[in-house]
Structure formats: structure tokens, C-alpha cells
Amino acid sequence: MKYLFLFLSAFAFAQQTKSVDFKTADGSISINPDSKSISGTITYTFEVLKPIDTIKIDAQNMTFSGVELNHHSITFTTNGKELLLIYPFQRGKNFVQFSYDAKPKQTMYFTGSEATDNLQIWTQGQGKYTSHWFPSFDDVNEKVIFNMEIAFESKYQVVSNGILKSIQTANNSTHWKYQMQKPMSSYLLMLAIGKYEKNTLKAKSGIPLELYLDPKDISRQEPTYRYSKEIFDFLENEIGVKYPWKIYRQIPVSEFLYAGMENTSSTLFATRYVVDSIGFEDRSYTNVNAHELAHQWFGDLVTAKSGKDHWLQEGFATYYALLAERSIYGDDYFYSKLYESSLQLKQASKTDTIPVLNPKASSLSFYQKGAWALHVLREAIGEKAFKKAVKNYILKYSCQNVTTQDFFNEIKKVSNYDLINFSKVWLESSDFNSTIANELLAKNNAMKIVLEVNKLRSKPIIEKYDFFEKTLKSDVYHSVKEAIVGQLFKEKFEDKKQLLRLALQTQNIQIRQAVASTLQKIPEEFRTDYETLLDDKSYQTQELALYNLWNNFPSKRVEYLSKTKDWIGFNDYNLRILWLSLAVSTPEYDANKETCIQELVNYSSTKYEATTRQNALEYLLNFKIINEEILKNLVNATTHHMWQFSKFGRDNIRLLLKNTEIRGAFQTLLPDLNEKEQFQLNRLLKE
């Protein structure tokens, strides 16, 4: 019955869009971080296209007052999911105004606190969730021009969609007014509040590019946002349609749910991509940067009508991000990324039976297979025709919703390509056509060699040794050499040691990292070679190398720990957390073990982001370091808004509860926990 109700609700809303066209939304809101609540007044203008007696606005768990239609009170009701305006609406223009209060259970997130001076508030409306914090429309086909006024404490910066029209301060409260010029789907409405410093660049076309960072991270400005202007200028030129909004912002937020989100004119992204120059080698924001920017055209300006056509957003954003990276890193990089995704898709096709043109398709299908489909199409009809079709598609359907057929219609105008067969192979089949993919990959010389390397996978090493040696000594692209190192994984050390030395001698970070990850059991004769990895300018390589060396050579542990005692790593403290764990677990190392444990426990607390906390908890549990504070932090993890971290907490508590003594410790903790924590722990105790 539940599914029938959902279907009927979606059907009813689809019917409403044929009768009512909402035009603008003017919202004036204020947020209380202590109660994690929001209140505001909203005015919607709309046009009734056909007589209708009830108009619905999606609103999750909200209360309303002062509901007026054209300055007159109107009958309304709510059902916990919608605000229903009841009136004999006739054709014509109208406006409705109302006030609301909400305490969002999702979509608006509060991280940090004012007490620790790291409070952030941000929203994530992906799909149809904005209605949890702002009465709006879960149907992506209802596009509205949003204008927002947000009141908040003056010491914070407030960001929303569009142009910042004014900032007015009074009584320690500031009102920020943002204005849009074009309509968009409600899921793209955003809000971000925090303490930020802003750097502004200007695109070739004159569009301001605002780059935000937490003041403590300002030294990471350049590596974090490296190539931002180049990416922007490239995409404007490649797509052939000027950036459709008046400004573009990028704001990192803590505890973000995804890598990034393409809110119209104002992208939010995860702080894991805030990096220094060393971190850039392993966690470059470049791809996410380009992907979310491409969405400003593909998704924000032109939006898929339904989940069936979701690839028109994710496939396009993935492919155009790759094209942007190609302009920066070159053809070899471009083809190596296509090759990586082809391997993933080929493997997934063995079990994934859902094709791209299905709302239940996997992210891998929507993103990577969608991108491959576009690459096949571009190669088949030619770059010039492809670019012309895409430009016409964007211009024709600007601020509208589209289907795959709409895109195909533009391709038909520039080419006689067989789109029926193309769709069957790439969009309607769950198989991945490796034959066609490999033919296209072979256009690149580096990929030709990679494909040759793959053909040798089942051959004994003696038959391919000379070829591997020659290739490792050549100047071929690093992904080829990484493929060779990967193939050496199961070979006897004596048979591969000289090849591994050649790999290390390349001095290429990626190739050396491949050695670090594939050689976990290190013979003594290779120890000094492997130790050089500790000096690589890569936090990921250093983490692998330190752990593997510590594990393989107990007599050298003190030396390794002394050498690496000042390591910190990424902004999630990956190297520091590893070092503390190893220092605590090395009896002969001269360090204050209690101080080290307390620092490690501190990283598992709510003072830090989920990725840092989980990393610390994993090491603490693996090394069997357990106390009351650790158990409390583990319980708190189960209440976190990031499902991966919450699941990590639940899974590990289940394991610990098998121990009678620890079960008793958890039961003792219950009275000291907050309501949410008690609820989660009680559920686990009763399983």
C-alpha cells in the first residue's frame, strides 16, 4: 500500500504541474543553531493554467501560519509531507504567502559548534529533499526563480544561490539577500553558513569565481583550487554556451555526504579535498571541481525529466569533467581514466543487470557508462558535429526538463548515425561492449601497450620479463608501468625484484605507490629500497610504507617511529593517527603511551570529522585499545548523519557485544548517553 501511495502522490504532483506553474519564490528565513531549527516567511507567485481546487507544496514535518492568497486568508491543511492550499483556483496569476517553522531531520546539517568555533550549517537537497528545510517542490519538473534572505549572526558568512544583492547588519544580526535570474529545480536550492575567507578570480568571460576556505586552511588555497579558472574557461569554450548563471562559488563544508554537489551557482564539496601541495598528488579536487561545474549546464540548466534519464546529468558531467582534465593533463591521462572505468564496467556487468536507461541503475552506470556512451557517440559522429548538437541541445532546452530522445533529436540534425542501435548497446543493455571500448582506447599509444600487458596476464613471468623490463625503462605513461607492477603481485620475489627496483627508479609517485601497495611482505634484501618510499611526497605512499615496514621489520620499529614522529598527513590526520597507533603498540619505543592513547582517543571524538574519527577508531579497535571514552565515541558514531560512519559504529558495537565484559561496560554507559545514543545502543543490546 505504501508504494501505491507514493505512486499516486507522484502522479498527483505531475498532474499539478499541468494545472499550475510556479514562477518565483521569495524566502526570508532565520536559523537557530542551538535548537537546530529554521523559521521563515515565503511568498510564491504562480499562474493557474487550468481550474483546480487544491494546490500542493511539499513540506516535511512543518507547521504553518498566516497563509494568505493575494492578501486574503485561505483555507489550508497539512499532512506532515505537504502544505495543501484549498480554494477554487481559476486561471490567472496569483501569489501565496505564509510563515513556517521546521526542525529538519535531514537535508539541513549542523556540524561543529559555536563553543569550539567551528560551527557550520549546510544543506544537501539532492533529488527531492529540499522540502525538509524549505517548503518547495520534490518534482524536478517544477522550476522556480528563488530569491533568499537569510538572517544569522554577523560573525559568520552566509552563502546561497545567485547574486548577493545586499548585506545589512543590525543588533549583531546580518541579513544576506541573494537573487536568482533564472528558474531551477528545488533540489538545487542551497544554504551554507560558516567562517570563511574568500578569494575571487575572474573567468575569461568575466564571470566571478569565488573560492571559499576556512581561515585555518588559507595556506592550502592554491593546491585546493588549482586549475579552477582553467577548467571554467575550458568548459565554457567546449560546451559552446556561456556559463548560464551570473556567478560561480565553491565552498568546502565539513561532514559532507558526497564528494560534491552542484547547487546552482554555488557548489558545496567535502573538506577531504582541501589539500596542500603534497596532498594534491593523492586527493586532487580537479575532477570533482570539473564534474560539479559541468553540472551547471547538464543538470542545473537542462534537467532530466525523470530518473530514467539521469545519465543526461551524471554521464555528461562525468564526460565533460574528463574532457576538462584532458586539457590539463593530456591524452594519456584521458585514455587511462577511460580504461580504468572500462575495467570497472566490464566487471560490474557480470552481476549488474540494470541498464543506464532505468531509474534504478547504479551510480557506476549513470556516471561511467553514461560517459562512455558519450565518448562512443563523439568518436562516431566527429567532434565538430557532436559539439554542435550539444550546443543546440543546451540552448533549445535551457531552463527546461528533457528526455534522452530530446538529446537524440539534436544528434539527428547533425548526423545519420544509427541511434537506435547505439541506444540498445550503450543505454538499454547491461552488458559492456569491451570490443568497441578497446578499439577506441587503442587510438592512444599508451593504452595500446596497456592492452598488450593485459594479454600477458596468464603468461609465466619468464615469457614476459624482457617486455616488462623494456617498458619500465621507457618513457611511456605511468599507468602502463602501474599495470606491470600490478601483474607482479603474485610472482615470487626472486623473479620480480629487479623489475620492482626499476619501478622505484622511475621516481614517479604513482608507480612507486603501486610498489608500496602490492609488496606487503618485504624481504630483507629489499628493505633499503622499500625504505625510500618513506621520503615520497605522497601522504598515501608514506602511510602504506610506514605500516608495511613497521610490520615487516620489528627490530627497526624504533628507527621508523623516530623518523616519522612529526608526520601529520592529510587534513584527516591519516599519518598522525597511524604513527600514534604504532607508537602505542611498540613497547620499546620511548614515548608517553598514555599521552599517545589520549591523543588517539581525541581523534575519535566529536571534535573531528567522521573520516578522522573512523580512522582513529579502526586503529584503536584493531590494536585492542578500549576504554569508556572509546566506547562512548563508538556509540555516538551510530547517530551520525553519514550512513557509512553510522554503519561502522553499529557493526563494531555488534562485534564488541559478543564479549560479556564489554557488553557490561556498554550497559553501564547508557545513563550517561543522550537520547539518540541511548536509542541506538538499546536497539543493539536487544538484538
Q: Helical H runs in 225-330?
A: 228-239, 280-283, 286-294, 311-329
CATH T-level assignment (fold) for domain 305-442? Neutral Protease; domain 2 (1.10.390)
Q: What is the pLDDT of residue 84?
A: 97
pLDDT tens digits along 58-108 = 999 999 999 999 999 999 999 999 999 999 999 999 999 999 999 999 999
Q: With contact defined as beta carbons under 8 Å apart, do 680 and 639 qualify? A: yes
Q: 623: which 3 cell numbers?
A: 590494536
What are the C-alpha distances in Å from 184 to residues 139, 180, 525, 601? Answer: 11, 9, 63, 45
**What torsion, rounded to 10 degrees, do the Cα atoms 138, 140, 143, 144 define?**
30
d(CA 102, CA 683): 27
Q: What is the pLDDT of residue 13?
A: 54
pLDDT tens digits along 361-387 = 999 999 999 999 999 999 999 999 999
Confidence of residue 10 (pLDDT cuts 50, 70, 90): very low
Residue whose C-alpha is closest to residue 19's, from 87, 91, 68, 86: 91
Q: What is the pLDDT of residue 575?
A: 98
Q: What is the pLDDT of residue 323?
A: 98
Identify any residues that bridge with 42 across adjacent strands, giving them in sequence order: 27, 98
Q: What is the pLDDT of residue 110?
A: 96
| Dihedral sign of CA atoms 278, 279, 283, 286 in order | negative
Q: What is the pLDDT of residue 11?
A: 47
23-27, 116-120, 374-378, 412-416: which range is least confident on average? 116-120
**At 160, phi and psi to the nearest 5?**
-140, -165
Q: What is the pLDDT of residue 15?
A: 72
pLDDT tens digits along 142-198 = 999 999 999 999 999 999 999 999 999 988 899 999 999 999 999 999 999 999 999
Average pLDDT of the chain, as a whole number = 95
Q: What is the pLDDT of residue 14?
A: 62
Question: Is the pLDDT confidence value at 1 over 50?
Answer: no
The pTM score is: 0.95
Confidence of residue 510 (pLDDT cuts 50, 70, 90): very high
Residue whose C-alpha is closest to residue 38's, from 150, 126, 136: 150
Question: Is the pLDDT confidence value at 3 over 50?
Answer: no
| Dihedral sign of CA atoms 52, 58, 60, 64 in order | negative
What are the C-alpha distances in Å from 382 to residues 136, 310, 374, 458? Answer: 42, 24, 11, 37
d(CA 644, CA 143): 32
Q: What is the pLDDT of residue 2?
A: 33
Q: Please state at what angle helix 478-487 crosses helix 331-348, rounded to 10 degrees.
A: 40
Residue whose C-alpha is closest to residue 138's, from 314, 14, 2: 14
pLDDT tens digits along 595-612 = 999 999 999 999 999 999
pLDDT tens digits along 441-496 = 999 999 999 999 999 999 999 999 999 999 999 999 999 999 999 999 999 999 99
Q: 376: which 3 cell numbers?
A: 562512443
Rg (CA), the chain: 28
Q: Name the residue with cell 556516471.
A: 367
Q: Name the residue with cell 609517485.
A: 509
Q: Any idea where the domains of the chain sit in the sequence?
A: 305-442, 444-552
Question: Is the pLDDT confidence value at 5 over 80?
Answer: no
Average pLDDT for residues 498-522, to the nearest whole number?
97
Average pLDDT for residues 109-124, to the nearest whole number?
94
Q: 265: which 3 cell numbers?
A: 551557482
Helix, strand, coil fractions of the chain, as percent rounded to 5: 50, 20, 30
Question: Is the pLDDT confidence value at 7 over 70?
Answer: no
d(CA 644, CA 492): 37
Residues of the chain with pLDDT > 90, as a percent, come to: 95
